């Protein structure tokens, strides 16, 4: 990871749970000097203690970035002590779910550069995707720094408007849970057709993982991939006739699922 500004001024990581640890591991693996990182975490893991970062020590006066990875309910306790860094050149990069940019501007000052990000849990294995959006005080350099840090755990996409973040939450933020449940349901359906539980789960898990990898690596439209494995009047078509039903199948169910998650995201952000 080559960013002289971060290496020179330092990076502060507030909170080092699963997401924070995944990102920190990615940065260190990409060559970010551990001495450039200061971590604040009340219950550091054994792994964190062995990374060589500054742990729960004094913060740099004007770090390049403060990455906020604490839980939303801890925000009011974590940020007030950093108000001296607001309204300046320090970028506040937040991965805290449901916390709007206005919240940071209220706590840190209206002129504070803020980028809000929504990663998802596959970041833990470097296969995440993160959507970002900044306020009026973020520059191209700020976006480049955010992209550099967040790309350590997967893809990064930039939104046009913060209002889109609720839909992102419903699709990719909460989406891994939907896929995990699909694996559960596919395995249970296999059991109902006579497969042993372990075998049904192995088949379901590998099928979902392999199909996702095929879609990701080829970049082929998923509709085309679906058609490629569907023979007229064959077994796959018989299953899809159920799954693709516009009234009782997956399309209306998935629309309702994402709508409910996005609505809850809007509620939490108020």
Domain harbouring 213, CATH code:
1.10.3730.10
Same domain, 157 and 177: no
The pLDDT confidence band at residue 179, using thresholds 50, 70 and 90, is: very high
Residue 205: name the closest of 173, 226, 244, 179 by CA.
Answer: 179
> What residues are designated binding site for NADPH?
56
Same domain, 134 and 200: no
Q: Is the pLDDT of residue 248 over 80?
A: yes
- Neighbour count for residue 55 (Cβ, 10 Å): 16
Between the CA atoms of 61, 63, 67 and 69, what dihedral angle is there, to the nearest 10 degrees?
-30
Same domain, 102 and 133: yes
**Residue 168 included in any domain:** no
**Residue 248 included in any domain:** yes
Q: Report the DSSP beta bridge partners of residue 40.
A: 14
Mean pLDDT of 121-140: 94
Same domain, 10 and 134: yes
Predicted pLDDT of residue 3: 64
Contact present, 128 and 153 (Cβ < 8 Å):
yes
Same domain, 248 and 177: yes
Mean pLDDT of 133-158: 94
User: Which residue segment(s) compose the domain that 17 sits in?
Assistant: 4-163
Residue 71: name the closest of 123, 130, 112, 16 by CA.
Answer: 16
Same domain, 15 and 133: yes
Same domain, 232 and 187: yes
Same domain, 143 and 14: yes
Residue 57: name the closest of 71, 36, 88 by CA.
Answer: 36
Where would I find the H helices in the chain?
4-9, 18-29, 46-49, 75-78, 101-108, 140-150, 165-168, 175-192, 197-218, 222-228, 235-243, 250-268
Tens digit of each residue's pLDDT (9 = 90 or more) over 216-230: 999 999 999 999 999
Q: What is the crossing angle of helices 140-150 and 18-29, to 10°?
A: 100
> What residues are designated binding site?
14-19, 56, 69-72
> What residues are designated binding site for NADP(+)?
14-19, 69-72
Q: Which CATH number does the domain housing residue 151 bear?
A: 3.40.50.720
Domain boundary among 134, 163, 192: 163
Rg for the chain (alpha carbons), in Å?
A: 21
Tens digit of each residue's pLDDT (9 = 90 or more) over 58-114: 999 899 999 999 887 777 777 878 888 999 999 999 998 888 999 999 989 999 999
**What distance in Å separates the CA atoms of residue 7 and residue 130, rounded to the nearest whole number?**
23
């Amino acid at each position: 990871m080559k960013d002289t500004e971060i290496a020179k001024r330092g990076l502060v990581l507030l909170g080092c749970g699963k997401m924070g640890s995944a990102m920190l591991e990615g940065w260190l693996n990409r060559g970010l000097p551990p001495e450039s990182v200061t971590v604040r975490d009340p219950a550091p893991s054994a792994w964190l203690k062995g990374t060589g970062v500054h742990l729960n020590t004094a913060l740099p006066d004007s770090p390049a970035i403060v990455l906020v990875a604490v839980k939303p309910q801890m925000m009011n306790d974590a940020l007030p002590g950093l108000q001296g860094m607001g309204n300046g050149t320090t970028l506040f990069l937040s991965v805290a779910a449901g916390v709007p940019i206005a919240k940071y501007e209220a706590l840190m000052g209206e002129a504070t550069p803020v980028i809000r990000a929504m990663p998802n849990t596959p970041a833990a294995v470097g296969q995440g995707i993160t959507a970002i959006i900044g306020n009026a005080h973020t520059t191209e350099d700020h976006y480049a720094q955010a992209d550099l840090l967040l790309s350590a755990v997967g893809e990064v996409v930039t939104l046009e408007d913060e209002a889109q973040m609720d839909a992102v939450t419903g699709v990719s933020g909460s989406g891994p849970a939907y896929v995990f449940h699909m694996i559960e349901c596919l395995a249970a359906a296999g059991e109902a057709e006579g497969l042993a539980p372990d075998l049904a789960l192995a088949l379901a898990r590998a099928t979902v993982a392999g199909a996702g990898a095929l879609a990701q690596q080829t970049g082929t439209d998923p509709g085309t991939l679906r058609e490629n494995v569907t023979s007229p009047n064959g077994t796959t078509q018989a299953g899809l006739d159920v799954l693709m039903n516009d009234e009782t199948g997956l399309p209306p169910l998935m629309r309702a699922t994402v709508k409910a998650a996005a609505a809850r995201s809007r509620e939490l952000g108020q």
